[in-house]
Chain A
Amino acid sequence: MNDASSGRATTPAPAGGPGAAPVPTKVVRLRHPWRIVVAVLLLAVVAVFIIDAAQREAFDWPNVGKYVFDQRVSQAAGFTLLLTVLSMIIGVVLGVILAVMRQSPNPVLKSIAWVWLWVFRGTPVYVQLVFWGLLSTIYTSIDLGVPFMEPWVSYPTTALLNTFWLAVIGLALNESAYMAEIVRAGLLSVDPGQSEAATALGMSWGKSMRRVVLPQAMRVIIPPTGNEVISMLKTTSLVTAVPFTLELYTRTRDISAAIFTPIPLLIVASIWYLAITSVLMVGQYFLEKRYARGVGARPDTGPGPVTGAMSAVDAEIAETAIAAKHGGDAR
């Protein structure tokens, strides 16, 4: 049980034979002079660019300053954030359900999930958003009742779903298909011995998913999901297809059309997108920390042996899921 000594950092071996007075050894770190040179050069280039940009008329900095905190713009940023958060939440929840359905022993559930993925991953999100915008044209009313009979209740579609919610639904359903694959990669990364142990303890399939497999899959799921959130933030600029026009990109474009200068408002939009991304990245950091429990350094000693559940292969599975998504299709 003297495991406390294992996994300690190696200390330099004392020079000289046993009995000889220890000769002090000076450790000279490897120097990296080129790093400094490259960094200085890059800094110089950036400085030149900034000084130049500050003076350039086309950037129109006074207008950037004027509009960056314009109420219409900040409100639009709020809508963009809201669209992102809502559609991601729905997308993740649906994605988990779909992934679990695909892993389930029930063939009906498996097929439903497969068809869902086939449809929502197989068509461009822009096309889907246009379809959602046309929903009220295709289905003028939403009826409750027995099919082909007089409905019990009937609502006009436009009264139930405004363009904002259509945009959220459109983004969320598309996202769910991608999240399903990310979650599935996570589930596959968990050692099958884990669900076997859970089953042997008398846990049902659902319980072992919830309590044992999913929490471990989270470590593999979170990084690509962070990617998805940021990707979603930018995809919201497509909801003008619905058409929902109050989000950041469409709003700033409308303003720039009115004042005849496109560039400052593009900069304003970029500043807001970057600001929101930064906030979301902080959130990801804390989530990752939360799900790293049980991996990494031992609480009472130095760095301990790391026997994480995630192997290189698992990381590869997750990467493939992302690559499959970002390669080719125009989202």
Chain B
Amino acid sequence: MSEQTTTPAGVDESAASSTPMVLAEHVSKSFGSNEVLKDISLEVRRGEVLCLVGPSGSGKSTFLRCINHLEQVSSGRLSVDGTPVGYREVGDKLYEMHPKDAAKQRRDIGMVFQRFNLFPHMTALENVMEAPTQVKRVSKAKAKARALELLARVGLAERADYYPAHLSGGQQQRVAIARALAMDPKLMLFDEPTSALDPELVGEVLDVMKELAKTGMTMIVVTHEMGFAREVADTLVFMDGGVVVETGDPREVLANPQHARTQAFLSKVL
């Protein structure tokens, strides 16, 4: 899958490449009185790999979930590929989308979860085929060929007929990545993809993600794997208490954190 960048039909190529893939402007999110995200502004360029780090409860998952509209932002503006997430822009007004249209928007955004969330009643192959056949109405034969190709890419061709319960954690997560890729997303969100894995299984998942980054996929990765961030990420964002504390080149931030909170956090995880 070298030609992964799928441009939406009708969008001018040059204009498309200049708009950032993800643009967050003053995004806030509250659950009741609990303000989880506070005035987040952030830009992710096309093909960029952004690593999001920060202590537990700092709002990283919530931010990812807002990007594909699993949560609704409370205020501010969040757009993916130039389109506001979950809203339709007409003139200077934003109209809330019908759930069907929001679902359509999510097709272009792949998400990988900490707990894999594979469908346990389907084999690895069926997991990968599910969304293309059910959501995009791709023919069974086509979806199968593509799914096998993706499973081979994550090194699991010979496990296609296994149910998730019969795969190791690392294998399950690789299937989950293949499942997300089957929808040909233009953006991949990873929420602590290796945090639920035994240490010896982390490498195989990170390897798949590195390969993916090399193909030019735009990725936002919430992780505690600083080695991965240093090696693969273009940008490192440190979040704490719902605010972006520090942003920069991962090698610089990791070697020379500017902010006291970043220093405190890094001293714990490094």
Give chain A's interface residues, CB within 8 Å of chain B: 1, 3, 191, 193-194, 196-205, 207, 211-212, 215-216, 291, 293-296, 298-299, 304-309
Contacts and interface: CB of A to CB of B under 8 A. Distances in A.
A293 B110 CA distance: 26
Interface of B: 68, 70, 99-100, 103-104, 106-107, 109-111, 113, 115, 117-123, 130-131, 134-135, 161-168, 171, 176, 179-180, 183
B219 to A, nearest CB: 15
A3 B200 CA distance: 13
A293 B121 contact: yes
B163 A194 contact: no
Given A298-B166, A306-B165, A199 B70 contact: yes
A204 B135 CA distance: 8
Nearest to B104: A202
Contacts of A204: 99-100, 103
17 contacts: A1-B168, A3-B171, A193-B113, A193-B115, A194-B119, A196-B117, A197-B113, A197-B176, A200-B70, A201-B131, A202-B106, A202-B183, A211-B134, A216-B120, A294-B123, A306-B165, A307-B165
Nearest to A197: B117
A3 B167 contact: yes
A304 B130 CA distance: 25
A309 B163 CA distance: 13
Contacts of B166: 298-299, 304-305
A156 to B, nearest CB: 44
B122 A200 contact: no
B117 A202 contact: no
B183 A201 contact: yes
A61 B236 CA distance: 87
B121 A215 contact: yes
Nearest to A204: B103
B70 A196 contact: yes
A201 B179 contact: yes
A294 B103 contact: no
Q: Which 10 pairs across A and B sit closest by C-beta, in order of nearness?
A: A202-B107, A197-B117, A294-B163, A201-B131, A200-B111, A193-B117, A298-B166, A294-B120, A294-B121, A202-B106
A309 B122 CA distance: 13
A216 B121 contact: yes
Given A3-B167, A202-B106, A299-B162, 17 more contacts: A197-B117, A200-B70, A200-B109, A201-B106, A201-B107, A202-B131, A203-B103, A211-B130, A216-B119, A294-B120, A294-B164, A294-B165, A299-B166, A304-B165, A305-B166, A306-B165, A307-B164
Contacts of B120: 216, 294-295, 307-309
Contact of A207 (B117, B119, B134, B162): B134
Contact of A200 (B68, B161, B168): B68
Contacts of B179: 201
Best-buried of B161, B164, B166 by chain A (most CB within 10 Å): B166
A203 B131 CA distance: 7
Contacts of A198: 119
Contacts of B99: 204-205
Contacts of B183: 201-202
Task: Kindly name the residue among B70, B123, B130 whose own CB sees the greatest number of chain A CB atoms within 10 A.
Answer: B130
A275 to B, nearest CB: 33
Contacts of A197: 111, 113, 117-119, 176
A87 B218 CA distance: 54
A294 B107 contact: no
Nearest to B158: A1
Given A205-B99, A211-B130, A294-B120, A196 B113 contact: yes
